[in-house]
Amino acid sequence: MRARRAAAARGGPAESYDRHRSTVDVKLRRRSYNGAGSPDPDDRKSGAADVTTVTSARVLDHPGRDEIRLENVLHALADPMRMKVVRELAAVSEELSCSHFDLPVTKSTTTHHFRVLRESGVIRQVYRGTAKMNGLRRQELDDLFPGLLDVVLAAAGHEADRLGGA
């Protein structure tokens, strides 16, 4: 990491690395050096630095509408923890952050469940600042598999009532 930062300070290849690492603009300062490796005296006197702003965004991979497969959606919905997430998302119209969900599993397992839901096309995840927001891809799922989500959510609700859980 230090080597990448040092390379960025010299205007090296770390610029492309930083472009994918942060959600905010990264300002890289490049100072020109003479052949001997010491700072250019003119730069020190004027305090001038070449400032480059690199716009970056953390983007998560999602399947396109045509890449969503029924078997992947059913697999994602088969797990009780993932079904709990989908039920909570279906109950609200806005996106919810990952920290909103109180799942009785470890943080790494929670991350795995969100990844399975995202990669199957059930949810869409986007970064808003430092929070990862989750939204149900209801319209796309209803277009591809009419009635599937409604039936599965209704069945999960009946099962929760029958078993006395939420």
Domains recognised in the chain with CATH numbers: 2-54 (no CATH), 65-163 (1.10.10.10)
Query: Residue 10 has what pLDDT?
Result: 54
pLDDT, tens digit, 9 for 90 and up, residues 45-85: 555 455 544 444 688 899 999 999 999 999 999 999 999 99
Question: CA 115 to CA 1: how far, in whole Å?
Answer: 26
* Predicted confidence band of residue 42 (pLDDT cuts 50, 70, 90): low
- For 29, the 3-state DSSP assignment is strand
Q: Which residue has the higher pLDDT, 34 or 70?
A: 70
Count of alpha carbons within 13 angstroms of residue 86, beta-carbon side: 32
Mean pLDDT lowest for which of 49-58, 112-121, 154-163? 49-58
Which residues are paired to 123 by β-bridges?
136
Question: Strand 131-136's sheet: what is its strand order?
Answer: 96-97, 131-136, 123-128
Question: In the predicted model, what is the mean pLDDT of residues 89-102?
Answer: 93
* Predicted confidence band of residue 31 (pLDDT cuts 50, 70, 90): very low
Which contacts qualify for 145-152: CB closer than 8 Å, 24 or more apart?
A: 145/70, 145/73, 148/70, 148/73, 149/90, 152/77, 152/83
